[in-house]
Chain A
């Protein structure tokens, strides 16, 4: 079963708009990571947010973590065409760290 899961299969926005991808997870975690995967490439980490943090930023990206509802969000402001990618959340499984990825949300940013 999926330990982490994004809530939408696909999103589409126009350049300049803001967008949010959500993720829910099922176990206690020490941290949650957001990755981006562009076509033909391996995933690349965007943000790592630890369980004692509520929000973390990286440029135009903002991640939140709510351990009470076991959910996280990744917001991208002022989107660009180059933000077109699949976005994954990934969690550990508490004591035995084996990173588990969600199925991903495909984001398309139109010019």
Chain B
């Protein structure tokens, strides 16, 4: 079954706490992504990972870091979360190709930072 799984679905944290968002995929996709979605702003790319330990900044990487130690897992880490990081975070995965490939998205994690 082709699936991207995100945990947790909902998360409430206090400002200054560390946050770990986890994502898994069962399709052996090389490439994985983290996006955040805010009303009126669409989906903004935070980080992209081309394979294990091969990560690249997206358009809004500040305040975030990522970890990919296994092809099927991609984590997003917020060190000392800020209130403006309240958002819905989506993980996605795709095959690596010479050009655009289909992105498969998870159901998202709604993070609230108080």
Q: Chain A: residues with CB nearer than 8 A to chain B?
A: 2, 29-33, 35, 40-45, 48, 50, 88, 90-92, 97-104
Contacts and interface: CB of A to CB of B under 8 A. Distances in A.
Contact of B108 (A42, A97, A99, A103): A42
A50 B45 contact: no
B90 interface: yes
Contacts, number: 62
Interface string B76-104: 00000000000000101000001111111
A102 B42 contact: yes
B97 to A, nearest CB: 8
A98 B59 CA distance: 9
A9 to B, nearest CB: 9
B42 A88 contact: yes
A92 B43 CA distance: 14
30 contacts: A2-B42, A30-B100, A31-B99, A31-B100, A33-B102, A33-B103, A41-B107, A42-B105, A42-B106, A42-B107, A43-B90, A45-B103, A45-B104, A48-B100, A48-B102, A50-B100, A88-B42, A88-B43, A90-B103, A98-B56, A99-B45, A99-B100, A99-B103, A100-B45, A100-B59, A101-B35, A101-B42, A101-B43, A103-B41, A104-B42
A64 to B, nearest CB: 17
* 3 A-B pairs closest in CB distance: A42-B105, A30-B99, A31-B100
A45 B43 contact: no
B66 to A, nearest CB: 14
Contacts of B108: 41-42
Contacts of A90: 103
